[in-house]
Chains A and B, each alone.
Chain A
Amino acid sequence: MDVAFIIETIVKIVVILLIFSALAGLGTYFERKVLAFMQRRLGPMHVGPFGLLQVAADGIKLFTKEDIIPQNVVKPIFKIAPVITAATAFMASAAIPFWPQFTVMGYTVHPIVADINVGILYVLGVMAIGLYGPLLGGMASANKWSLISAARSAAIFISYEVISGLSLLAPLMMVGSLSLVDINNYQAGGIGNWIVWSQPVAFILFWIAAFAETGRTPFHLVANDHEIIDGFGTEYSGMRWGMFFIGEYANMFFISFVIAIIFLGGFGDGTIAGAFQLLLKVAFFFFFFLWTRAAWPDVRPDQLMWLCWKVLMPIAVLNIVVTGIVMMF
């Protein structure tokens, strides 16, 4: 391994960390604003123009708050759990191509940290490890609500891993590669080549599963405020709680990238226009996360399980079988 490669990788990691930590903060701002507008409110208004600096105010608040470790918690696990959530969210981003490759001063940059040939497998795998954040945090908290939340998160994440895995299998069979770059290049021909047209069912299923895996509103059971306070986050304060938050919002961005790359053509043929289209698609999916939060109620845990095992999984399996039959002939 030459030095240039190592330096380049480190630079990429730092850039991704910085951009997505900032985006996670901005994401909370957009969430508050969009939800406010949908509920005929104004949202944050007082810090900075249109409340834009609210993000900075929150950051300062979280950083300077006292870091409380309550009595009776399992201390090492309690302390490490938020780190797991934030770290796995960012680790998953390593295999996501955020932008087509471009050349700066004769040097070609690949805006992907590691173009491994099992990219999507890696992304899903690491996101699944993210389950340990809520699970361990909830179990170590010595709090009833946190414990319920931990149990729910284990049930939900494991169930919906099945859906996201099975629903992705059909498009992957068509592409014949697990690398996100290959998947993107498969659809480079334009809108007609997007996988969403040939695999609409898989697209919908994966989208639904994405809501469960990021714990967003119709499936927001792991931290459902009116039932279990803040779930696994109840006992956390200050920046440890903030790390859970950053992890959640970074995950929303990354899963939006994954949906856009796998099903909606990603950055297309790699031109600048294609790259901006990718950003637009990601913005839409992120907006949709907020939109559903304003519009839809939460489902009950048993309904969620019912939906997963009795409706979505059979459909996903059927989708794979049908895809296989069609590809055979």
Chain B
Amino acid sequence: MHHEEVFTDRNVSEHSAYFYVDIETYPVSGWDKFKQVLKRAVRGELFVGLWVVLREMIKFDIHTVQYPKEKLPIGPRYRAVHKLLRLWESGYERCIGCGLCEKICISDCIRMDTRIDENSRKEVTEYSINLGRCIFCGYCAEVCPELAIVHGGRYENASEQRTHFVIKDDMLTPLDLLKAGEQAEYPGFGAIIPGSDASVKKTPLAY
């Protein structure tokens, strides 16, 4: 597994960081306004501001990400361009051509073709996703019974037209990468819960 970034919990809850700001009452009379100006001028708030920015400049703690050269980490559940995975042991395609993903896709952008091959197995001949229509909802990955179609982390797409496709060859893990152990399971929608092996009961064979 690739390393997982720890993300801040930004959900609103009683423990979250919301708090009320004290706002001073605004001065009404001219004398109050004058006192406020004097207080602010003499207390040197202007110099506090100058110091803060100068300190940041001296510390030189630069936060710029020089994008094409450097990239920010994305979450493990990030839903970008899809991948088709292979079985770990045999290297065979996981997709059984059941067509559930094609059926559930709410933007109707998956198109696949199957045939019965020589061994009477169903074989997927074509599989394409129109990324111009895909809304990256993750339903296809969730519905897939074989954990075959998953989302990947490739979020940089460019095309000359609104319709552009990824086809099976782009999405399927190449065999050499699979042998090198570089195929990663997807921890997002539809993935196996960690430790699910322990909760699976053996099918009683007595029936």
Query: A interface vs B, CB < 8 Å?
Result: 34, 36-42, 45, 291-292, 294-296
Extra A-B contacts (9), CB below 8 Å, given A38-B54, A41-B62: A34-B57, A40-B61, A42-B62, A291-B50, A291-B54, A294-B53, A295-B46, A295-B52, A295-B53
Number of interface residues, chain B, beta carbon within 8 A:
14
Q: Which residues of B contact A (CB under 8 A)?
A: 46, 49-50, 52-54, 56-57, 60-64, 66
Return the contact of B53 from the options A41, A42, A45, A291 (Cβ within 8 A).
A291
Whether A292 and B50, one on each chain, are in contact in the complex, defined by CB atoms closer than 8 angstroms, is yes
Known: A295-B49, A296-B46, A296-B49. A40 touches B54 (CB 8 A): no
User: Which residues of the partner chain A approach B53 to less than 8 Å between Cβ atoms?
Assistant: 38-39, 291, 294-295
> Which listed residue, B49, B50, B56, B60, touches A39 by the CB 8 Å rule?
B56
Q: Which residues of B contact A40 (CB under 8 A)?
A: 56, 61-64
CB contacts (< 8 Å) of A37 on chain B: these are: 56-57, 60, 62
**Which of B49, B53, B57: most chain A Cβ within 10 A?**
B53
CB distance from A36 to the nearest CB of B (A): 8
B contact residues around A41 at 8 Å (CB): 62-64
Residues on the A chain within 8 Å of B54, using CB = 38, 291
Interface of A is mostly: helix
Chain A, Cβ-Cβ closest to B33: A306
Residues of B within 8 A of A39 (CB): 53, 56
Residues in A whose Cβ lies below 8 Å from that of B52: 295
Bound Cα distance from A36 to B56, whole angstroms: 10
Residues of A with C-beta under 8 A to B62: 37, 40-42
Main secondary structure on chain B at its contact with chain A? helix
26 contacts between A and B (CB under 8 A): A36-B64, A37-B57, A37-B60, A37-B62, A38-B53, A38-B54, A38-B56, A39-B56, A40-B56, A40-B61, A40-B63, A41-B62, A41-B63, A41-B64, A42-B64, A42-B66, A45-B66, A291-B54, A292-B50, A294-B53, A295-B46, A295-B49, A295-B50, A295-B52, A296-B46, A296-B50
Residues of B near A36 (CB, < 8 A) are 64
Q: Which residues of A contact B56 (CB under 8 A)?
A: 37-40
Q: Which residues of A contact B60 (CB under 8 A)?
A: 37
* Least distance between A157 CB and chain B CB atoms (Å): 23
CB neighbours of B46 from chain A (8 A): 295-296
Q: Given the complex, which residues of B lie within 8 Å of A296, measured CB to CB? A: 46, 49-50
Query: B52, B61, B62 — which one has the most chain A CB atoms within 10 A of its CB?
Result: B62
Whether B49 pairs with A38 at a CB distance below 8 angstroms is: no
Name the B residues within 8 Å of A45 (CB-CB).
66
- Shortest Cβ gap from B142 to chain A (Å): 40
In the complex, the chain B residue whose C-beta lies closest to that of A37 is B57
B60 CB → nearest A CB, Å: 7
A39 to B59, CA, bound (A): 11
Q: Chain B's nearest CB lies how many Å from the CB of A46?
A: 9
Q: Which residues of A contact B49 (CB under 8 A)?
A: 295-296
From residue B39, how far is it (CB to closest CB) to chain A in Å? 14
Q: From A297, which residue of chain B is reached at the shortest CB distance?
A: B49
Instruction: With CB as the reference atom, state the residue of chain B lying closest to A43.
Output: B64
- How far is B50's CA from A36's CA once the two chains are assembled, in angstroms? 15
**A40-B54 Cα distance, complex, nearest whole Å:** 11
A200–B112 Cα distance when bound, in Å, is 82
CA A291 – CA B60 in complex, angstroms? Answer: 15
Which residues of B sit under 8 angstroms from A42, Cβ to Cβ? 62, 64, 66
CA distance A39 to B56 in the complex (A): 7
* Chain A residue at smallest Cβ distance from B51: A295
Kindly list chain B residues whose C-beta atoms are within 8 Å of the C-beta of A291: 50, 53-54
CA distance A291 to B58 in the complex (A): 13
B63 contact set on A, CB distance < 8 A: 40-41
Chain B proximity of A108: nearest CB distance (Å): 42
**Residues of chain B contacted by A294 (CB below 8 angstroms):** 53
Q: Which residues of A contact B57 (CB under 8 A)?
A: 34, 37-38
